[in-house]
Chain A
């Protein structure tokens, strides 16, 4: 099995509206502190993304049609989010292979 590189991003309480994420890593794990505001966030440049953002305002989140996203966002505000064509939830196998090659 080929190794996948994962980049982890921990965002403290704050405002991240309009943030656009791009990168060359295979997978990204983005954690946003509860109560933050991250409207119109664009993760369309990321192939595999895991977002942990419970209670965060993610209004207008935009994902690429071919992207695979795992969302842990209970209670979050995702009004108007665009997940057209995306896959919500990595398979266990993919998740496992991503974590095998993870690095900060």
Chain B
């Protein structure tokens, strides 16, 4: 299989390319065109996709996006509408390694936040999002990493409690206030 680890692929054209199972770990795919490409099972961990393009025909099933940067990545649907790619959208397309980011994205959209050990998700907000809510957000997004989030240790939560969540907070996650 092809090995393109840490390669600089800025603006490269992969339109309709069959790149199934290729190792792109750490590569720079800034501005790359991936529309209609078969990228199933490829390793895109730590890849920079800033400004890269994918489309409805891009096959990402089983691709690993752990640690990938997707800000500025765009998705073109079958009608030609171009929108920013969301983590939720990638999760729905069978991409692996983005479970917590989906919850982060959802939390941000709702103006909420939560924190795990060493990682902050969401924006500074008026209302805290506790572990149960984070897990629920992921569950609603249909990602498989929900169980991991449920078992995550949540730290540095604000003292303000979310009404009706006290019992759940005392569950599998450890919460400090």
Task: Give residues in A with beta carbon < 8 Å to B.
Answer: 65, 69-89
Contacts and interface: CB of A to CB of B under 8 A. Distances in A.
Nearest to B11: A80
B3 A71 contact: yes
B15 A84 contact: yes
A72 B2 CA distance: 6
B22 interface: yes
A78 B8 contact: yes
Interface footprint category on B: 20 to 34
A27 to B, nearest CB: 15
Interface in B1-59: 1-22
B21 A89 contact: yes
Q: Is the interface of A mostly helix, strand, loop or mixed?
A: loop
A69 B2 contact: yes
Nearest to B18: A87
14 contacts: A72-B2, A73-B3, A73-B4, A74-B4, A75-B6, A77-B7, A77-B8, A78-B4, A78-B8, A80-B12, A83-B17, A84-B14, A84-B17, A88-B19
A88 B1 CA distance: 8
Contacts of A73: 3-4, 7
Interface string B125-169: 000000000000000000000000000000000000000000000
Nearest to A69: B2
B163 to A, nearest CB: 53
Contacts of A88: 2, 17-19, 22
Given A80-B12, A83-B12, A83-B14, A89 B22 contact: yes
B67 to A, nearest CB: 18
A70 B7 contact: no
